[in-house]
A and B are shown apart, each in its own frame.
Chain A
Amino acid sequence: MKVDKIKKAISELTPSEELSERIMDMAASYEKSAVITEQPIRTVRPGRMLKLAAIAAALVILMAVSVYGIVNRLFYLPGAGLVDEDGMLVIREDDIGDLDITAYKTPEEYELGGFVIESVTYTEYNGLASFTIWSHMGDELMASYQKDSYGNPKVTVADHVIEDLKIILPDGSSLAPESVRSSSSGSIVYNFAAEKLNTKLTLVSEGLGAELKVELGLVEDVGYSYMEYPTDKGITLIMSPANEEFSEFSVDFIDNTISDGFAEYISESALSFNTAGVLLYDSNNKRIPWSSFHGGTKDRGVNISIAQTPSDNGYDIKKASANRLIINYFLQNTNHGDPDVLLDIPADGEYICKEIEIFTGAGFDAKITGYSREGNQLKIYANGFQPDKNDFSIRFNYIGIPYNGSNGCTSAYVFYTLSLKDADYFSIGNEWVQAQDGSLCRTFDFSKMPEGGLDSVEQFYLSASAIACIFEGNWTVNY
């Protein structure tokens, strides 16, 4: 698919005359001094920030406790911290940020699963700028010419356009760029249109001096390398060396067309990774310590950086393996939104017995079977309305979330949030709840209560804000 065809098609989309006129009128009549400027809608509202922070903190706990294999015995209690089954405080919430999850032990060796990975071929150009072949895009080869940041500032990007650049294909034929575009960021992109460029190429130009030999490492005709886990379940684990100067691995997701719908629930702040489960090896099969971990998002992936050491000059890592991934499917901001239901606040002491579906998708079936109120506490129940039976376990037991396991999770959690309608954003209670069967009950306390307590509120939202899955397995990437 040629760039020009896409550009031509999309450029046909034009706003209506009426809209143009309206905006022109608005621009003409707008007077800043005469307008009371409304507070712009913030992308991240305070309430959402609070939820995000709570989810992030809870995820740290999940990651930590799962390494120990004690996920069934510790619980995150908003406002308190990490508590055990008896409600005893194990770690104060204020201390959660200090948890050093990397200190936990992990098995030293894993069996090889074996997949090839290769991402980018780099070629240095010894001049003011570096010449980078970074990718093979469908039927085009993209070559980027980066201005050296230490180069002469008077040298413009345009000065670096290689007018006579050509690629020589193995059969001897040559291709000139179909188009050359320079950009203000200091790169020049050459588009070479060809059906198959998954091969060894030679770039030639008098300006370049020596011929540049470029080998495009291609796997399955895709142009980049990756491993998929599980290949038919809609989630793809990519571990790729992403930078030649320091080794960096990323874990990304692909929304596979044959997906069971899992990946579409991942949103931009949705990803966590149990770093203790990632092991890196050099060409002698010796472990290489990594030095830092950058929390991930769907867009940015998870990155693990490795310090520059003699054993790791950026090229020496030959194998990476992982045994555990914890992925938080943050349901807000995805196509599916923040699944919620609006319910009436029961009278004090009232029990409402009613099956209500909160979220169904990606193999989850999160539903409640009733809810009740005691004073300023709300409780929700699942898998049977048996409040008497569950009185002993009000705070620390689970809401059952039948899970069919089709997406490879070995265990799963749902982050439920209760928020009071028409109250401010701080009237939020939330809980991570482990997915499992059983007759269960969960109590939600609110971080801030309206002055008149629950009596002053008529309705509340129950939403599934996030789902966390723990994937376990042996993934190994060789390259």
Chain B
Amino acid sequence: MAENDIIKRRHETVERMLPTVWRLCVMRLAGAESSNIEDAVQEVFLRWLESGRHFDSAEHEKAWFIRVACNVCTDIYRDRSRRAAIPLEECEYLMGSNTAEDAASEHEIIREVLALPTAYRDVIYLYCVEGYDTNEIAGILGRKPNTVRRELARGRKKLQAKLKGEEK
């Protein structure tokens, strides 16, 4: 394969996967310095490049990136100096690109999602945003499907209660 073709294919993969990897790293490391989240994202893509991996399908590619992103974030999370240190309200990378009227409510949703326990966050993200079903999420995260279902139910219930201001 010509060099240009290789680079073109790599760029296509980056374009496809960067938003997913970025969002997942934000979900996992919210509150950390943005440089740490960027490090995580770069590490994921570096691992991909180093692996020289080709994927059978778009699903395989996406699942691989998600799994590796989870692992990389876990590694970073173990380093206490790189953990969440910034209040969520002050994280610029959580502001999103929406400037419309409904931006405020979207920020509120993001903030409340990120305030959930990590396990709930992972599941909600993969379910709601990436469109995986609970069996697939269980496979990706190495959890039992029933556990994922419970986490999803509880996470959403908590989220709903918070956004409605019902939680005491």
Chain A interfacial positions (CB closer than 8 Å to B): 1, 3, 5-16, 19-20, 22-24, 26-28, 30, 32, 35, 37, 40-41, 43, 119-120, 134-139, 142, 144, 181, 183-185, 187, 189, 222-224, 238, 240, 242, 250, 252, 254-255, 257, 264, 299-301, 303, 332-333, 337
Contacts and interface: CB of A to CB of B under 8 A. Distances in A.
A43 B68 CA distance: 11
Contacts of B110: 9-10, 12-13
B85 interface: no
A27 B136 CA distance: 29
A278 to B, nearest CB: 18
22 contacts: A1-B163, A5-B109, A9-B109, A9-B110, A11-B129, A13-B110, A15-B22, A19-B18, A19-B38, A23-B18, A26-B45, A27-B11, A28-B10, A30-B10, A137-B152, A144-B133, A144-B135, A181-B131, A185-B133, A222-B153, A299-B143, A337-B80
Contact of A187 (B127, B133, B142, B143): B133
Interface in B1-46: 7, 10-11, 13-14, 18-19, 22-23, 26-27, 38, 41-42, 45-46
A342 to B, nearest CB: 13
B144 A24 contact: no
Contacts of A119: 146
B133 A299 contact: no
Contact of B94 (A11, A13, A238, A337): A13
Contacts of A252: 147, 150
Q: Which 7 A-B pairs have the closest CB atoms?
A: A12-B96, A9-B109, A9-B106, A27-B10, A15-B22, A6-B128, A1-B160
B101 interface: no
Interface of B: 7, 10-11, 13-14, 18-19, 22-23, 26-27, 38, 41-42, 45-47, 49-50, 52, 57, 59, 71, 74-75, 78, 80, 93-94, 96-98, 103, 105-107, 109-110, 113, 117, 119, 124-125, 127-129, 131-136, 139, 141-144, 146-147, 149-150, 152-154, 156-160, 163, 167-168
Contacts of A11: 19, 23, 129
B160 A300 contact: no
Contacts of A333: 74, 78
Contact of A13 (B26, B103, B134): B26
Given A6-B124, A28-B7, A242-B146, A20 B133 contact: no
A138 B153 contact: yes
**Residues of B contacting A: mostly:** helix
A12 B103 CA distance: 9
Contact of B46 (A26, A142, A181): A26
Contacts of A185: 133, 135-136, 139
B153 A14 contact: no
Contacts of A301: 144, 147
Nearest to B46: A26
Given A12-B97, A27-B13, A184-B57, 15 more contacts: A9-B109, A10-B128, A11-B129, A12-B96, A13-B26, A15-B41, A19-B42, A26-B42, A28-B11, A138-B153, A184-B136, A185-B133, A223-B153, A300-B147, A301-B147
B49 A13 contact: no
B74 A43 contact: yes
A231 to B, nearest CB: 15
A26 B44 CA distance: 12
Nearest to B12: A27
A407 B12 CA distance: 52
A23 B75 contact: no
Given A23-B14, A27-B10, A144-B133, A224 B49 contact: no
A385 B113 CA distance: 48
Contacts of B11: 24, 27-28
From A5, A23, A223, A300, residue with most partner B Cβ within 10 Å: A23
A26 B49 contact: yes
A24 B14 contact: yes
Contacts of B49: 26-27, 30, 32
Contacts of B50: 32, 35, 37, 40
Nearest to B71: A43
Nearest to B52: A32
B117 A255 contact: yes
Given A23-B45, A27-B11, A14 B78 contact: no
Contacts of B124: 6
Nearest to B132: A183
A23 B41 contact: yes
A40 B48 CA distance: 11
Nearest to A5: B109
B132 to A, nearest CB: 7
Contacts of A183: 131-133, 135-136
